Chains A and B, each alone.
Chain A
Amino acid sequence: MKNKQLPTDGNGFLNNPHYRAILFQVVALAAVIFCGFYFANNMFDNIASRGISTGFSFLNNTAGFGISQTLIHYDDGTSTFLDVFIIGLLNTLLVSVLGIIFASIIGLLLGVARLSSNYLVSKLALVYIETFRNIPILLQILFWYNVVLAALPSPRQSLSYLDSVYLNNRGLLLPEPIFESGSLAILIAFVIAVLSVIFLVRWSRKRHDETGQDFPIVKVSLAILVIAPCLVYFVAGQPISAEYPELKGFNFKGGLTIIPELLALLFALSIYTATYIAEAVRAGIESVPKGQKEAAKSLGLKDYVILTKVVLPQALRVIIPPVINQFLNLTKNSSLATAIGYPELVTLFSGTTLNQVGQAIEIILMTMAVYLVISILISLLLNWVNAKMAIKGR
């Protein structure tokens, strides 16, 4: 359309596609601006005529309600709505990150199982995938929460493992690590170990490129990562101890409690998203032409080498983009927690806070903005990965 010769015979302004395009755009823009103006105008009118408070000053007011899971310090007497916002955001991120980890592990296993030569394994994985991806995620969340929670015992009849891990209808209780002075040294040791592993990997790759000799990189790296912090742990005089949960009064005191809402949500999100990841993994591996594997085999490469050096590098290019999209979906789906009361952003902020403060516009816009930022960050990551993985002609 752009490169068309403009008619010169003066056949009218509207018959010139160039001007027509401009006119069309102006009309479209005017319509959008008009609608925006109309809505904003009404909104301000309504706010003014009804005496609704506006602005973000409510964020500094004291919240004054209890929250069942807080990752940062929260005092229901003095903390503000801004703290509530941050806590909600952190809880959203917590469940998303944990969900992404579990969903990836389950999804990977399922995807591989789906391609297994073992008939039963492959069909079981298929049944799993077809079952869980065709049930709405909200229904799964409600099911795990309402049905499984009801089946768990009360705190006094907790299921226990080694008297340190307990499972009851108040959640999963784990020993909580207590960091005393000197635990910083362990952290430092760990960071140094990670850095040296990165260095080692680069060195071994370079050596492999130059000499063709392999270095047992996985084993050595793991050894460094485990041994270095352990060594420092004992040298520093065992500065990390554990606090065990104990039954006192109505409930367990001490220890780390993972609330049932988080458990149910994680369970449902991981199981559901894993089905999509599994399909992506399967499609990715199947996308590698059969000839590649056969060629590798005829070169005499071992199965393990074929998988890591021939199949996976090509499959990952197909697998990663849809998987990252699924990560974004999982994060967005975590907002359904509002149905079971897990204190994440939508529950705490668009729910409780909205009701205490009543400023719907500000609160819903802030909530949407958070998800938009997350999704923009994930798209940027996706673009970066795509650019990085693009086939580079050598």
Chain B
Amino acid sequence: MAIYTMKEAKPAPTGNRGVIFWLRENLFPDVKNSLLTLACLYILYTIIPPLLNWMIFDATWTGTKEEIVNSGARWIFIVEKFDQFIYGFYPENLHWRPNLVAILSVAFFISLNVISNNKVKITIILLFPIVCYTLISGGWFGLEAVPTEKWGGLMLTVLVAAVGIIASFPIGIVLALGRQSDMPIVKTLCIGFIEFVRGVPLITILFMASVLLPLFFHDGIEFDKLLRALIGITLFQAAYIAEVVRGGLQAIPRGQYEASEALGLSYWQGMILVILPQALKISIPNLVGSFISLFKDTTLVLIIGLFDVLAMVTLTNSDTNWLGFEVEGYVFVTLIYWVCCFSMSQYSKSIERKFNTEH
């Protein structure tokens, strides 16, 4: 009886494998593409080496201003002003407080994934913002109070973004439910708000919050400049979240709504237990996209006179000892934003891929 023995597969013909094959297939398949490839290589050649030289090889990393001899970036400016970029005017001896908040935030997110007891979870969720606010603002438990004008830099940027994201989330969900509701008045009110906010630029909303909001209240009621900006940003973001969540709600099959009603669940029970968990899950990529936009939009607070990390570039450059370092400042801030936004968008893409395979 003949025994079948596996023969080793022959390698592909030499013309169809290896680096050269890949190059020929992907870069030089025909004349037109070859020219394109060469053009791209030329572009890379003109951009990459000078950029690397400026940023790394010819850059000055240490020393004092007077010792600069290299022609590249003068990163000592960033090193010198690093604290201001990160903390703004926050008192130097109290920097440990924002640092502690940063560590707590990491711990907070880990604990949310680890702890399974819902009661503990909710307690943590409710307690966390209070603890953070107390730590940063002070005034209690013997902590020295730091007024909001002194908050600045990356700390302020992250704070504005975080508050905007967290506070707008419940408002956005309620608005989305209102827009999908059967009640005509509620529906009209929600649509009116959402479309109004989405129709105007954020800057006009910030202007309104910073200039007009105090006119809407009586003398006794006072708003901090930062608080007003936060209100403006939260309302703005809520309208966008509402639209994202609405997309998710519409994607839930009608049967799910009917099933929850058939089980005798009330409207809110059905929404919270059946519909929203599914709708939010499929909206996660879009929600992250919306958060990225918000994070980028936090730069606008500089126009109403708050000192976020971008405003710090201008401010540190008006120091008479450090004039003319705008480029380094802009590049540094660009890197911060780019790293944050890029990693968030990669995260959202990975979630999208995960969902795709589940179907």
Q: Could you list which residues of chain A lie within 8 angstroms of chain B, going by C-beta atoms?
A: 1-2, 21, 24-26, 28-29, 32, 39, 42-43, 45-47, 116-121, 124, 130-131, 133-139, 142-143, 146-147, 150, 332-333, 335-336, 338-339, 346, 350, 354, 360-361, 364, 367-368, 371-372, 374-376
Contact = CB atoms under 8 A, between A and B. Distances in A.
Nearest to A134: B341
A364 B182 contact: no
Contact of A371 (B200, B215, B345): B200
A203 B32 CA distance: 36
A375 B200 CA distance: 8
A45 B34 CA distance: 73
B186 interface: yes
A124 B40 CA distance: 8
B310 A29 contact: no
Given A117-B26, A117-B33, A335 B203 contact: yes
Of B183, B215, B326, B330, which is in contact with the most chain A CB atoms at under 10 Å from its CB?
Answer: B215
B196 interface: yes
Interface in B172-219: 182-186, 189, 196, 198-204, 207-208, 211-212, 215-218
Given A120-B40, A131-B338, A136-B337, A25 B183 contact: yes
Nearest to B295: A136
Interface stretch (B56-64, B148-156, B297-305): B297-305
9 contacts: A1-B182, A43-B216, A118-B33, A136-B296, A139-B310, A335-B203, A336-B300, A354-B211, A371-B201
A118 B26 contact: yes
A136 B216 contact: no
A371 B297 contact: no
B111 interface: no
A121 B37 contact: yes
B343 to A, nearest CB: 9
Given A135-B337, A138-B303, 4 more contacts: A45-B218, A121-B40, A135-B341, A332-B202
B172 to A, nearest CB: 17
B333 interface: yes
A350 to B, nearest CB: 6
A263 B252 CA distance: 46
B204 A371 contact: yes
Contacts of A26: 185
Contacts of B351: none
Contacts of A371: 199-201, 204
Contacts of A336: 201, 203, 300, 303
Given A24-B183, A118-B33, A372-B200, A134 B338 contact: yes
Contacts of B140: none
B105 interface: no
A115 B207 CA distance: 42
B43 interface: yes
B27 A118 contact: yes
A361 B211 CA distance: 9
B218 A360 contact: no
A137 B201 CA distance: 13
B267 interface: yes
A143 B327 CA distance: 8
Of A45, A47, A139, A143, which is in contact with the most chain B CB atoms at under 10 Å from its CB?
Answer: A139
A313 B267 CA distance: 43
B256 interface: no
Contact of B29 (A2, A117, A361, A364): A117
A134 B189 contact: no
A335 B201 contact: yes
A135 B309 CA distance: 13
A139 B297 CA distance: 10
Contacts of B298: 136
Nearest to A125: B40
A335 B199 CA distance: 13
B222 to A, nearest CB: 13
Contact of B342 (A116, A117, A134, A375): A134
A328 B239 CA distance: 16
B199 A376 contact: yes
Nearest to A140: B334
B212 A139 contact: no
A39 B221 CA distance: 12
Given A120-B40, A147-B326, A21 B189 contact: no
A61 to B, nearest CB: 20
Interface in B205-262: 207-208, 211-212, 215-218
Nearest to A332: B201
A136 B212 CA distance: 26
A61 B122 CA distance: 59
A21 B297 contact: no
A142 B310 CA distance: 10
Interface in B22-67: 26-27, 29, 33, 36-37, 40-41, 43-44
A88 to B, nearest CB: 13
B307 to A, nearest CB: 14
Nearest to A21: B183
B129 to A, nearest CB: 25
A337 to B, nearest CB: 10
Given A134-B342, A139-B333, A29 B185 contact: yes
Given A21-B182, A147-B330, A371-B199, A134 B345 contact: yes
